[in-house]
Structures are given as structure tokens and as C-alpha cells.
Structure 1
Amino acid sequence: MSRVLLLGGTGDALRIARSLRAEHVYSLAGLGRTPVDLACGVRVGGFGGAQGLVRYLADEAIALLVDATHPYAARISANARAASSDARVPYWALRRPAWEPQADDDWRFVDAWPHVVAALAPFRRPLFTLGREPLAHLDAIPAHQHWTVRCLDAHPGNERARIIDARGPFTLDGERALFDAGGYDVVVSKNSGGAATEAKLQVARERRLPVVMLRRPALPAADREFGDVAGVIDALRAQPFPIVR
């Protein structure tokens, strides 16, 4: 029996997983909520690097590896590319297009956390939408700043940090209300692309707020690359063995 292994953890990956037949596997790192309503199998946890993934591909008779992880999950994608090459299993990837600044945007591109901190020095109330990384730095918040950090899971804050656990999609009205309540003077974001979390950028544009934007990491080339979920599902449907329900 030929099987597909889907590497996920994003909303796009979940949409693909919902289309898969029972014999295929959706793999999650385990950092977010685990879906319980899928027809396909669900695997939670790591593989033990590229070589562990090679063994899994062989043991589970995986005939196709589909990478629909987050655009910033560079290590996972690199391991997937290496494992697929070693195991001689085709490697497909969903590469969601990045957001592009518009004429009135004030985007300040940075490459790593130290550059984020330096770019934020003039500001007092940043809104972080980077995921969990700021949580490791709550004890180093400058005295003149108060942070709001939005991420997937609840986490304790402190007297200079508020943590919001929330999962997109986020609406434009909801983001406007958040900005009204928080009084933010800068937004910090990954360039994740997609519509689910883009509303914050529109609100920043409306209010002429700067955006400190973390550049995307370099990702490995895939045997086939797709820009949207529909393209992946159509290609799975066209395969010679049954994949999509």
C-alpha cells in the first residue's frame, strides 16, 4: 500500500489533511492543538532528525512526502528534503507566497531576534505576532517598553508583558479593536503570507504604524512546489494511487 506523509502544523496543512484518505498520515510537531476529526492518521512528535525520518519513510511505506509546514520551519523542511533524497521518495512543498509591502507601508526588515530588539528601541508598546520566540525574553524587556505577545498557547506574562493566546483567522474589525485597546506604536511580524493573519498589516497601514518584519529563511527546493492548497489537492487527486477522499 502506497502512503502519503503530510508534514503540517498550519491551517493550510490542516485543509489538506481533511482531504486525505484513512491510510495516509498527517504529522504534527505537537506544539498546537491536535485535530481529532480527521479521516487520515495523525502522528504527533519529531522523527529524530533527517535520518529518523528516513527510517520512518521506509518503515511506513511512504511513497510521497508533502511539506506544508510553516514558512519559518526551516529546519523541518531541510530535514524533509534530505530524508526524501536519501529514501528516494518524492518531496513536494507548499510554499505560501509572502506578503508584499504597499506604497504607504513602513516595513523594517530584520533577520534575527537581536535585530528585532534593535529595531524596537525607539518604541514603547510593540505588538508581537512572531509566535513563541518573545516568550523567552520577557525578563529582558527594556524599562520604557510594555509588550503584548500574541501566540497560540497561554503563557504567564509579567508587569511589563501581556500574553494573548489566540489562533487565526483574525478579522479586520477584531484587529482594529485589539489595536484600539492596546495603543500599540509598532507591530512585529513574520512574513507568513496568507489571509488568516493579514488583517493586522492593514490596520497598521491605516494607522501609519511601522512594522518590524522578520525575513523568511531560505527553504530547500522541492520536486514540486505549490502556492496554494487547491494546487496541492489537485495534484494529489491526479496521482496513480488513491490519496484524496
Structure 2
Amino acid sequence: MKRALLLGGTGDALIIARGMTKPHIYSIAGLARVPTDLACDVRVGGFGGVPGLIDYMSANEIALVVDATHPYAAQMSRHAREACTRADVPLWAVRRPAWQPQPGDDWREAADWNGIVERIARFHRPLFTLGREPLAHLSEIPASQRWTVRCLDPHEGNARADIVDARGPFDIAGERALFDSARIDVVVSKNSGGKATEAKLTVARERGLPVVMLARPALPPADREFDDPASARDALLAYDFNLQ
């Protein structure tokens, strides 16, 4: 039986997945929280690169792939594009619009980790909302700084870093409290887009704090692209797999 394969691990993907039933498949990486309330099949783990994804699609009669991964999961998106091209399987993608600076914002773009370090050098209390990447650099924190790192899973900090394990959505009141308690003077963020984690930008704007924004990676084109998950879900529900 022909199936759709939804590549997820994001809130957008869950909106689509909750409209899916068996035999369609929702696939997430091992770090993502595994949902238990879905009517479709759920797969956890990697594929083993492009060859593994092609083999998986062939073995499971995948007739459509929907890429709803994070905007910064560029490698997975590239693998999906190459695998679908080689297997002649249509690829759809949810391309969440990036945040745009508002009046009063002070955004400073960085291309990579070295650029981030350069841009926060004169600040003392950065808040990192990049996921796990800063955890690899805790031994490099300058004596003039104390980091607050927010990521999904608990992790041990050190004398110069506080690790906050939390999952969005985050509201403005909670972000204000975090900024106050940690005495944040600069925010480091991915330009993820969406409402779930946008409140930190509002608080930074209120307080006149700079935001160092990690540049979005370039993503490959899909055969059909959506800027919101509800539209992708509705199109998937209307898709005629018998014609594939």
C-alpha cells in the first residue's frame, strides 16, 4: 500500500501528523520527543544517509515525502531532496517564514559559531537559544561572561554556565522572568520563525537588547512548498495515492 513519509520533529510536523492515519508514517530523529497520540505509524531514528533513505522508501512503498523538519536541519532536507530525485518520488516541504526585524530591533547576523563568539565578545550575560550547539563550547567561556543556555534536554553546566532545559511555546511573562533572573544583556538565536519561541525577541525589543541571529542555511527546492503546516496537512489529506 502506497504511503506518505512525513519527516518531522517540529511543532509544524505534529500539526500535519495529527491529520494522518495508518499506513502513513511520521519519522523523527532520536532527540525529538516521541508523540503517543498519533493515528499514523511513528518511526524513530536516522536513515543512514541518502542510500538508506532510498532503501527505506522502496521497502515501505513511499509515494510522497513531506519535509517538515526544522529550518536549520539543512542536511536532512538535502538528503530528502536527493533521495526523492533519485527514487522519482515527489517531495513537498513546509518552509516556515523567517522572523523579520521590527522597529526597535537590533539584530546582528552571524554566519557560524565563530561569528557568534565575535559578536557577543563585549557582552557579559548572553542567552543562547541555539539548541545543543553551545554545550560543546562550555569550556571556552571567557572569564568576563556567564552563559545561560536553553535547550531541550537536561545537561550539566559549569561554573560559568547555567543550562535551562525547556520546551516551547514560551510566553512573554516567562521570558521576562528569565531575562531578569539571568540578567541577560544579549540574545543568541536561530531565525526559526513561528510563534512558539518568538517571545524572547519581543522582550529583547522591549529592553533594547541586541539579538545575534544565526543565518538560515540555504535549503533545496521542493516540488511543492507550503508556508504553513495546516495547508500542507490539508493537501496531504486530499492527495490521491492511487494515482501514484
TM-score normalized by the length of structure 1? 0.97
Specify the code of the residue in structure 2 equivalent to 1:130: L
Rounded to whole Å, the distance in 2 between the matches of 1:40 and 1:237 is 13
Structure 1 contact 77–220 (Cα < 8 Å) conserved: yes
- Counterparts of 1:1-245 in structure 2, within 5 Å, are 1-241=1-241
Rounded to whole Å, the distance in 2 between the matches of 1:182 and 1:107 is 21
Unaligned runs of 5+ in 2: none
Rounded to whole Å, the distance in 2 between the matches of 1:29 and 1:241 is 26
1:238 Cα deviation after fit: 1.8
Count of residue pairs brought into register by the alignment: 242
Structure 2 contact 9–33 (Cα < 8 Å) conserved: no
Rounded to whole Å, the distance in 2 between the matches of 1:238 and 1:177 is 44
Structure 1, residues 178-221: CA drift from partner, whole Å, max 9, x if none? 11111100000000000000000000000000000001000000
1:51 Cα deviation after fit: 1.1
Aligned-residue CA RMSD (Å): 0.9
Rounded to whole Å, the distance in 1 between the matches of 2:187 and 2:15 is 28
Structure 1 contact 68–94 (Cα < 8 Å) conserved: yes
Unaligned runs of 5+ in 1: none
Displaced runs of 4+ in structure 1, greater than 3 A? none
1:32 Cα deviation after fit: 2.3
Structure 1 contact 172–203 (Cα < 8 Å) conserved: yes
Specify the code of the residue in structure 1 equivalent to 2:97: P
Rounded to whole Å, the distance in 1 between the matches of 2:62 and 2:194 is 29
Specify the code of the residue in structure 2 equivalent to 1:233: R
Structure 2 contact 63–241 (Cα < 8 Å) conserved: no
Identity rate, percent: 67
1:103 Cα deviation after fit: 2.1
Structure 1 contact 32–153 (Cα < 8 Å) conserved: no
Structure 1, residues 212-239: CA drift from partner, whole Å, max 9, x if none? 0001000000000000011101211221
Structure 1, residues 11-67: CA drift from partner, whole Å, max 9, x if none? 111111111012111111111221122111111111110111011111100000000
Structure 1, residues 127-170: CA drift from partner, whole Å, max 9, x if none? 00000000000011011000000000000000100000000000
Rounded to whole Å, the distance in 2 between the matches of 1:122 and 1:113 is 16
Structure 2 contact 19–237 (Cα < 8 Å) conserved: no
Specify the code of the residue in structure 2 equivalent to 1:42: V
Rounded to whole Å, the distance in 1 between the matches of 2:174 and 2:121 is 28
Structure 1, residues 97-143: CA drift from partner, whole Å, max 9, x if none? 00000121100001100100111100000000000000000011011
